[in-house]
Chain A
Amino acid sequence: MKNLYLPITVDHIARVEGKGGVEIIVSDDGVKEVKLNIIEGPRFFEAITIGKKLEEALAVYPRICSFCSAAHKLTAVEAAEKAVGFTPREEIQALREVLYIGDMIESHALHLYLLVLPDYLGYSSPLKMVDEYKKEIGIALDLKNLGSWMMDELGSRAIHQENAIIGGFGKLPGKATLELMKKRLSEALPKAEYTFELFAKLEQYEEVEGPITHMAVKPRGNVYGIYGDAISVSDGFEFPSEDYKKHIVERVVEHSFAKHSFYRERPFMVGAISRIVNNAGTLYGRAKELYESHKELLRSTNPFANNLAQALELVYFIERGIDLIDEALAKWPVKARDEVTLKDGFGVSTTEAPRGILVYALEVRDGRVAYADIITPTAFNLAMMEEHVRMMAERHYNEPEKLKLLAEMVVRAYDPCISCSVHVAKL
């Protein structure tokens, strides 16, 4: 008689943004099927904003995701500005990147300490770590508060920023605030380094070791960062951002409200580790030193390296933030906003959100959105994530409880934003 196997399922993956589950189906021949069920409802953001006034659509896009609302806002604004033929002044661009860095710091700190670390220390929730791990929780809150505060000052608030608008900002913080921001950033640097040392000690499971194709935005000006106009692939290929549809194919899959993405018929990965793999040569400062001494751990072949890559980025973006503020201060006083005429046109912006490449393509006609396509990092990652969960399952399907935790840990290493992945999809 054939053996009967119950599916190994996690209905609701905890400590990630959004609602998703894992389903692993086992048969006599081993793991038969692995599915990441994305069960959160769709929100049709592109369909909703077609025909709407550009400014109002731009107010809605950040609502796709709270963990990276600044990333959505700034990428949408850049796509819109490209569409209407406007280029922001350098100092405005620098301050936008500082706002984006606030998002990066907050998001990485939350992900690493509150979502990832409890697994390694044997806790179900970060709230339960408070007594035993005072120092770590303290650092988490300090870094998170720093990122939130930067977004408060530059974006109007830490979630769903309204202050970043076409043409610049509604209002800019004063010089004294920016000086204070520099001071607080430099005070946070040791905490970021502590985070890096801590995460360098955590296990990167060999079960999921194997070649991965990485994709990342090629940074502008050859300085490691967020904005860029081309995408680089770890196989050496490179293409302009506008051509994303030629090289990335999306498909609807029946167990998910989010589509899956493929490059040359294969899944690929985006995120902090992909940025490091593809762009490490453009790092500088303390992060560069740490990268050189920890190259082996920041390798391209293990999704768990993404955790350490985020920790490295905490160090990097703190130093980068200080430099960008200096660039803006060198031109002080800075006018907050330029008048922009909304000409008809089409624009594509690709930036590096905390979780990887974020694509916005917008067409503007008569001041309204005529076409919108948004692809989020988690949508890019889903197919690859499934493959890594499968690798984990193949080794542990005889220990369902252990596998459930390990499968969740694989998913968490990607830092998925499930709300993002379902709320958008292309036309």
Chain B
Amino acid sequence: MEGKIRIGFYALTSCYGCQLQLAMMDELLQLIPNAEIVCWYMIERDSYEDEPVDIAFIEGSVSTEEEVELVRKIRENAKIVVAVGSCATQGGVQSWTEKPLEELWKTVYGDGKVKFEPKMAEPVENYIKVDYRVYGCPPEKRDFLYALGTFLVGSWPEDIDYPVCVECRLKGNSCILIEKGEPCLGPITRAGCDARCPGFGVACIGCRGAIGYDVAWFDSLARVFREKGLTKEEILERMKMFNAHNPKLEEMVEKIFQGVEE
């Protein structure tokens, strides 16, 4: 790419943690001379949402009709669209519900009216083509460093296709699932965090999302969970915390429970 690389960082409905993670990186200061920040409201007042950019980073889930319009506009203006974080890539924790929108709305706002149009949270790729994904809730700093660095040298970053367990074993942690019997989601969750939570003795909640390429074996893990005494509902609930929109999850877990009396 010639000249300065034009970058936009756009937020949909989210906690702003992905941007915060990026903004907190000291390395960002080294990037500035090579980049032009076209839009990044969190740290730049002179931001323009409607300008062409080389790379558009999108954080957050699509959660209002206004945001549907916004992502379409971003796609038109961007050469590369990067979905950042669990909300943009998987719909986020706000998708962790079976309740219909009307019920959620009533629970929170009662009969109150608001002039904006809400909708159920969805990942960005349900509306536009996404070229690359940075996973995590929040993504690790090294995820940003790797993706940005690779784009800046004119190459394409690779995806991670192996589970948290790989990194966890390499660190020499004791296994939370097998040794402590806790419902750790490490086996189905995309690596890259260096098994951060299991390193603290806390079971993985799957914040980086299920591994892609059909290698997230929800069924095998569901079988282990079942043997540990978890019900189908409990298993689905836990696995869906960050994977509510995963098309394979439910059917693979169902398979394990077929013909099983609970």
Contacts and interface: CB of A to CB of B under 8 A. Distances in A.
A, B: real partners: yes
Interface of A: 12-19, 39-48, 50, 52-53, 56, 59-60, 63-67, 69, 110, 114-115, 118, 124-127, 130, 137, 141, 144-145, 148, 156-160, 162-163, 165, 169-171, 251-252, 254-257, 259, 336, 408, 419, 423, 425-427
B17 A160 contact: yes
B93 A15 contact: no
A374 B20 CA distance: 23
Nearest to A155: B200
Given A47-B97, A252-B109, 20 more contacts: A12-B47, A14-B43, A15-B45, A40-B11, A41-B12, A44-B104, A47-B103, A53-B237, A59-B205, A60-B241, A65-B15, A67-B20, A114-B43, A125-B45, A157-B196, A160-B17, A162-B196, A170-B200, A255-B115, A423-B15
User: For chain A, what secondary structure do more than half of its interface residues adopt (helix, strand, loop), or is it mixed?
Assistant: loop
Contact of A257 (B41, B44, B92, B118): B118
A64 B87 CA distance: 12
Contacts of B137: 63, 160
A165 B205 CA distance: 13
B14 A419 contact: yes
A47 B63 contact: no
Interface string B122-139: 000000000000000110
14 contacts: A13-B41, A14-B44, A15-B45, A17-B16, A40-B11, A41-B118, A42-B108, A44-B97, A47-B97, A59-B241, A64-B15, A157-B138, A257-B114, A419-B16
B109 A63 contact: no
B196 A156 contact: yes
A307 B191 CA distance: 40
A114 B15 contact: no
**Which of B14, B28, B63, B197 counts the most A-chain CB atoms under 10 A from its CB?**
B14
Given A41-B121, A125-B46, A425-B108, A419 B41 contact: no
Contacts of A170: 197, 200-202
Interface of B: 11-18, 20-21, 23-24, 26, 28-29, 32, 37, 40-47, 49, 61, 63-64, 66-67, 92-94, 96-97, 99, 103-105, 107-110, 112-116, 118-119, 121, 137-138, 196-197, 199-202, 205, 207, 234, 237-238, 241
B93 A162 contact: no
A415 to B, nearest CB: 13
**Which of B24, B32, B200 counts the most A-chain CB atoms under 10 A from its CB?**
B200
A47 B17 CA distance: 22
A425 B99 CA distance: 17
A426 B107 CA distance: 8
A325 B13 CA distance: 37
B91 to A, nearest CB: 11
B113 A252 contact: yes
A127 B42 CA distance: 12
Contacts of B121: 41, 43
Nearest to A258: B114
A124 B45 contact: yes
Given A47-B97, A257-B114, A257-B118, A40 B13 contact: yes
B175 to A, nearest CB: 15
Contact of B205 (A56, A125, A163, A257): A56
B16 A41 contact: no
B20 A159 contact: yes
A47 B110 CA distance: 12
Contacts of B42: 14-17
B44 A171 contact: no
Contacts of B200: 156, 162-163, 169-171
Contacts of A43: 13, 63, 92-94, 121
A118 B64 CA distance: 31
Contacts of A259: 109, 112
Contacts of B49: 12
Nearest to B109: A252
Nearest to B202: A170
Contacts of B67: 41
Given A40-B13, A67-B20, A125-B37, A171 B201 contact: yes
Contacts of B112: 251-252, 254, 259
B237 A56 contact: yes
A144 B29 CA distance: 15
Contact of B93 (A60, A144, A157): A60
B202 A163 contact: yes
B93 A48 contact: yes
Contact of A159 (B41, B44, B138): B138
A268 B115 CA distance: 25
A53 B234 contact: yes
Contacts of B40: 125
Contact of B207 (A64, A144, A160): A160
A115 B66 CA distance: 26
A254 B45 contact: no
A18 B64 contact: no
Contact of A160 (B26, B63, B107, B138): B138
A108 to B, nearest CB: 14
Contacts of A19: 11, 41
Given A12-B47, A127-B43, A148-B24, A56 B238 contact: yes
B13 A41 contact: yes
A144 B25 CA distance: 10
A13 B67 CA distance: 17
Contacts of B94: 43-45, 48, 423
Nearest to B140: A157
Nearest to B67: A41
**Which of A53, A56, A259 counts the most B-chain CB atoms under 10 A from its CB?**
A56
